[in-house]
Amino acid sequence: MRESTLYLVPPKQLHVAILMDGNGRWAAARGLPRSAGHRAGVEAVRRAVHAAPSLGIGTLTLFAFSSSNWQRDPQEVGALFGLLEKFFFSEAFRAQEHDVRISAIGRRDRLPSTLLSAIEAAETATAQNDGLDLRIAVDYSAREAMLRTACWMISSTEVTQREFSRRLAEVTHSPAESSDVDLLIRTGGEQRLSDFLLWECAYAELHFTDRMWPDFTSADLELAIRDFHARDRRFGAAPAALANVTAS
């Protein structure tokens, strides 16, 4: 009986979100232009995507371009968009082999048309895959998304959290409802959320590492997952051990 129960209840697939910080410093430390750091960052993205399923990750959301990144030098923005375009085109093919579903979240109205086409092509080509759900945040701002959702809902009399989440997914063009983040990882030594998935991270565990993103390996990802499994997630409830003491 026990064995069949194990098959009936698959282990929970984690939603991991990553703030891939440190590309610029990685490049500067080597006397290279910032774009070289972003290029090396793409390789780290591939390593993470490859390792994710075996670590129990069902959804991986990567912050590739924040809405505040428009303030950067147009050359750097152009280089980043070029890398993203290439990634969406090439990954659409690789993803088929690895059963990865790719999508972009964020605003689409300010993106160059060639990047937009690459995104749409990858989304269409991988829509039926049901292995890893890989979401790339491009021109994304959690605050702006929440504000737009709130405006949309202003005429509603009663709004449930579920309904809010559904609308939030729609304003960020997410093909599926965004799930709560279980673990948020930030590389590059800073310890802040930088307007990333603020609603979805309400109960996320946070993992900060000094590793610069281009140096991030599958072993680093595994370490973060192990760290996550060692946490006591209570979602506001009393710790199990203390609950008994309080009740008696």
Instruction: Please select the residue that binds ligand FPP; options are 16, 17, 18, 22, rule is CB under 6 A.
Output: 22
Examine residue 21 and tell whether it contacts ligand FPP (CB under 6 A): yes
Measured CA to CA, the distance from residue 21 to residue 186 in angstroms comes to 7
CB proximity list for 106: less than 8 A, separation 6 or greater: 65, 67, 137, 138, 139, 140, 141, 172, 173
**Sheet strands (E) in the chain:** 14-19, 57-66, 101-105, 133-140, 183-186, 205-208
Residues 37, 203: contact at Cβ < 8 Å? no
Binding mask 81-110 for ligand FPP (x = CB under 6 A): --xx--x-----------------------
Instruction: Please select the residue that binds ligand FPP; options are 64, 169, 181, 185, rule is CB under 6 A.
Output: 64
Interface segment toward ligand FPP; rule CB under 6 A; list 16-24, 92-100, 143-151, 191-199: 16-24
- Binding-site size for ligand FPP (CB under 6 A) equals 20
Q: How far is the CB of 128 from ligand FPP (least distance, A)?
A: 22
Active site residues: 21, 69
- Our CB check for ligand FPP shows the closer of 84 and 185 to be 84
Residues numbered 135 to 194 that lie near ligand FPP (CB under 6 A) are 136, 188
Interface segment toward ligand FPP; rule CB under 6 A; list 79-87, 118-126, 164-172, 227-235: 79-87
Q: How far is the CB of 93 from ligand FPP (least distance, A)?
A: 15
Measured CA to CA, the distance from residue 169 to residue 165 in angstroms comes to 6
- Our CB check for ligand FPP shows the closer of 93 and 203 to be 93
Residues numbered 23 to 62 that lie near ligand FPP (CB under 6 A) are 23-25, 38, 41-42, 45, 62
CB proximity list for 214: less than 8 A, separation 6 or greater: 22, 23, 26, 37, 40, 41, 43, 44
Q: Does residue 72 come out as left (phi exceeding 0), alpha (psi in the -120 to 50 range) or beta?
A: beta
Residues 187, 206: contact at Cβ < 8 Å? no
Interior angle at CA 116, CA 170 and CA 137, nearest 5: 55
Residues numbered 184 to 243 that lie near ligand FPP (CB under 6 A) are 188, 213
- Our CB check for ligand FPP shows the closer of 89 and 152 to be 89
The two tokens of residue 154 are 């202003």
Nearest residue by C-beta to ligand FPP? 24
Binding site for ligand FPP (CB under 6 A): 20-25, 38, 41-42, 45, 62, 64, 69, 80, 83-84, 87, 136, 188, 213
